[in-house]
Homo-oligomer: A and B are copies of this chain.
Amino acid sequence: MSILHTVNKSAYERNALDSCLGHTKPGDSVLLIEDGVISARAGSVAGDKLAAALGETGVSIYALGADMAARGIPEDKLVDGVKVVDYAGFVDLAAENDAVEAWL
């Protein structure tokens, strides 16, 4: 079993990312969409948290490229290890995991 967790709000505005990361299991995936991508910028408070989670929790972290572009976040400013996907990749992640959990 594995879960795709979606987070659509910035870690600066809401507790959704923190709460999500506290409830993942190794093998799970976390996808940042909408304002959620703001958390993935390197050299930031939330980015450091994500980097730590990548090292400690055994989860994979993804960010939706279309939402990054809209918020002016280039791929080379992402936290190391965060992977960029498009909507087709989002669909694949939903299919590859056994359930999708939205952290609204």
- A residues near B, CB below 8 A? 12-15
Contact = CB atoms under 8 A, between A and B. Distances in A.
Copies of this protein in the complex: 2
A13 B18 CA distance: 10
A39 to B, nearest CB: 13
5 contacts: A12-B15, A13-B14, A13-B15, A14-B14, A14-B15
Contacts of A13: 14-15
A13 B17 CA distance: 11
Contacts of A12: 15
A13 B10 CA distance: 12
A15 B14 CA distance: 6
